[in-house]
Amino acid sequence: MMKSKSGGLSSLSDEQLKAVLRRVYSKELPCPFKRSDLLLRGLNAVAEEGDLLFGLDELGVKAVITAVISERRSVQQKLKIYGKHQQ
């Protein structure tokens, strides 16, 4: 198993994570999946950085990706609000 060289899921864009979610919801990517399953579907960056997702069932994959995206949105919203108060 290759070790991630950078930040894991935090190094992936929302679009890359959403691409995994779309394939999971459409059943194109059955869970649990392996690195090779992602590579075969052109999700190379996720295959390199998505170790946390390997071995999770469908609910686990959906929960983790949704949590990552939600947390990012929350942080962005807080930064937006904070930035407006500083101007």
Domain boundaries along the sequence of the chain: 8-86
If we measure between CA atoms, which residue out of 31, 4, 8, 6 comes closest to residue 20?
31
Look-up: residue for tokens 């052109």?
42
- The model's pLDDT over 37-51, given as tens digits with 9 standing for 90+, comes to 999 999 999 999 999
pTM score: 0.78
CA neighbor of 46 nearest in space, from 19, 86, 82, 79: 19
Q: How far is residue 49's CA from residue 67's CA, in Å, rounded to a whole number?
A: 17
Would you state the pLDDT for residue 1?
43
Average confidence (pLDDT) over 66-83? 82
| 50 touches 9 (CB < 8 A) | yes
29 Cβ contact list (under 8 Å, min separation 6):
20, 23, 37, 38, 41
